[in-house]
């Protein structure tokens, strides 16, 4: 019996892009493909862990709306991701907005279920608190993973107001819990003021290497991507993208903007340069549409998720060919 071809997005030459439900890239819902997908796009509308401007709970749906303009062929990666693998929108994980501890448990349980089905996760946040339960779930399946973290901020602080689970603490908790491979941890895009030099000292002790936004500007995306590939090696990789890695000119719609960030072009080129890495899942967080002008941030985020999804779909197809 011939293998069933993946079901792709709605044909925009027949149904206008502005018509119909806003699934990611106009892809089918998970229930429309029998409940199984190779890559599941999942929203987590949660922003109780933010320390400044709220609103990222609306980020996932803003990204979905902006993604209506995405097309099925990705020329930068010479791939048609939605034909290579079944990508589907799995809807949202409904996390408790009043109880961070319960929300973290809910996200982890839901991520476990998706990963156990055989899918890879492309998660749309929400704030960066959700990275911790997602990493727990991925490590449960793959063991400690390499982490590539795009952000203006380290997110390895200890607590905020005594709280251990916030959007500024997920990667310290992940290191403490042993879900990360500490020989392959990288921040990209770091910039801006810190609380003190101890922030950097603590971060280095956890095993993180830092590529600042100025490093990207001076060295260029290709050289940076090469360095990251060498650090990651053949380890299973998790990519976490805080949209504030981009300069506010490219991403004004976020909760903690910092001047001097990456351009959207630089971010996309670095991601494309990860071809060949074992990308097992990814998240994209901190899109706050209330502060977005003309959907600039949501558009950049939709293209970022598209590049990550393409990388994962290509790997699914390559694995099938090898088997």
Residues tagged in the binding site annotation for Mn(2+): 128, 151, 153, 155, 242, 244
d(C-alpha 73, C-alpha 261), whole Å: 28
- Residue with structure tokens 């911790």? 132
Q: How many Cβ atoms sit within 10 Å of the Cβ of residue 182?
A: 15
DSSP 3: P
Task: Please state the residue numbers annotated as binding site.
Answer: 128, 151, 153, 155, 242, 244
Cis previous bond, 126, omega within 30: yes
DSSP 2: P
Report phi then psi at 87, rounded to 5: -110, 135
Strands 180-190, 120-125: pairing kind = unpaired
Q: Which long-range contacts (CB under 8 A, 24 or more apart) does 159-166 make?
A: 160/51, 163/100, 165/49, 165/100, 165/101, 165/104, 165/129, 165/132, 166/49, 166/50, 166/51, 166/100, 166/129
* Centroid of chain to Cα 130: 11
Tell me if 314 sits within 8 A of 81, measured CB to CB.
Answer: yes
- Token pair for 106: 């809910």
Q: E strand or H helix at 208, and its extent?
A: strand 208-212
Q: Give the C-alpha distances (Å, rounded to integers) separating 198 from 37, 158, 205, 230, 267.
A: 44, 12, 10, 27, 28
Q: Which neighbouring-strand residues pair with 210?
A: 187
């Amino acid at each position: 019996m011939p293998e069933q071809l993946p079901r792709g997005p709605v044909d925009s030459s027949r149904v206008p892009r502005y018509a119909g439900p806003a699934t990611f890239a106009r892809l089918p819902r998970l229930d429309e493909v029998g409940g199984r997908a190779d890559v599941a796009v999942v929203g987590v509308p949660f922003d109780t862990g933010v320390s400044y401007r709220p609103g990222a709970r609306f980020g996932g749906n803003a990204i979905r709306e902006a993604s209506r303009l995405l097309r099925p062929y990705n020329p930068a990666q010479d791939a048609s991701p939605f034909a290579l693998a079944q990508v589907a929108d799995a809807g949202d994980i409904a996390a408790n907005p009043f109880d961070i501890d319960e929300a973290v448990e809910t996200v982890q349980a839901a991520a476990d279920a998706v990963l156990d089905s055989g899918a890879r996760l492309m998660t749309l946040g929400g704030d960066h608190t959700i990275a911790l339960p997602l990493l727990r779930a991925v490590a449960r399946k793959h063991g400690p993973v390499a982490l590539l973290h795009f952000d203006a901020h380290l997110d390895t602080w200890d607590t905020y107001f005594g709280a251990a689970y916030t959007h500024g603490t997920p990667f310290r908790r992940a290191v403490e819990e042993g879900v990360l491979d500490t020989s392959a941890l990288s921040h990209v895009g770091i910039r801006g003021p810190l609380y003190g030099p101890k922030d950097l000292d603590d971060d280095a002790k956890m095993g993180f290497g830092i590529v600042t936004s100025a490093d990207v500007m001076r060295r260029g995306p290709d050289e940076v991507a090469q360095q990251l590939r060498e650090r990651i090696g053949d380890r299973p990789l998790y990519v976490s993208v805080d949209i504030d890695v981009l300069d506010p000119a490219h991403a004004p719609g976020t909760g903690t903007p910092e001047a001097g960030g990456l351009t959207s072009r630089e971010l996309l080129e670095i991601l494309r340069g990860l071809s060949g890495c074992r990308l097992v899942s990814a998240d994209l967080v901190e899109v706050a549409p209330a502060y977005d002008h003309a959907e600039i941030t949501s558009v950049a985020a939709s293209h970022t998720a598209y590049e990550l999804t393409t990388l994962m779909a290509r790997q699914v197809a390559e694995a099938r060919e090898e088997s």
